[in-house]
Structure 1
Amino acid sequence: MAKTISELRKQVKPEIQATAKAKALEIIADMTLSETRKARGLNQGEVAKRLNLAQPNISQIESRPDVLVSTLSQYIEALGGTLELHAKFPDGQTIDIKPFK
């Protein structure tokens, strides 16, 4: 009889699971906007519709080397998320940057 995924996971050592999870989070953190959109199961047309823009505008947003924070925030919200900004300083202090819409 075939084993379920949950049964197979139980056989993997916790340290292996932790390493795999850390690697997955690292991969996700390095995703481009278009990769993030695709991972959310959306195409450019769907995002454009949610933002009330034309599809070529989404292509431009995704290919820009630099984007306005307000544009990025709207894009992330169209994907169903929320953009959060944090400033980290060498002394260990972290400050949450409040939205400025």
Structure 2
Amino acid sequence: MSKKTNTLWFMVAATVLNIVLMLVLFLACFILITRFVDPASSLVPLWLGLSFLVSIGGSFWLYSVLIKWMAKRFNLEENLAPLFNKRKKKPRREE
């Protein structure tokens, strides 16, 4: 497989990993809410919103830690192509 194909599969797998991490964190927060918060409380929507934000932030943090570890462990810089190439600047035409 080429580097571009490796990059494509890595990005697909990393995206799925990020979504799974977010779902797991949201479910963990939801389970904690159902265990420790009174269902008749008026603060349940606030707790749910907070758990949503924690799941997004926590998944972003875990994702970045895992990707940095994988890049170091599996030497990904050699096996993956850059996503965005730098464009060469064309000289300006003076009229």
Q: TM-score, normalised by structure 1?
A: 0.29
Structure with bigger strand share is 1
Structure with bigger helix share is 2
Greater gyration radius: 2
Answer 1 or 2: higher relative contact order, Cα 8 Å, separation at least 6: 2
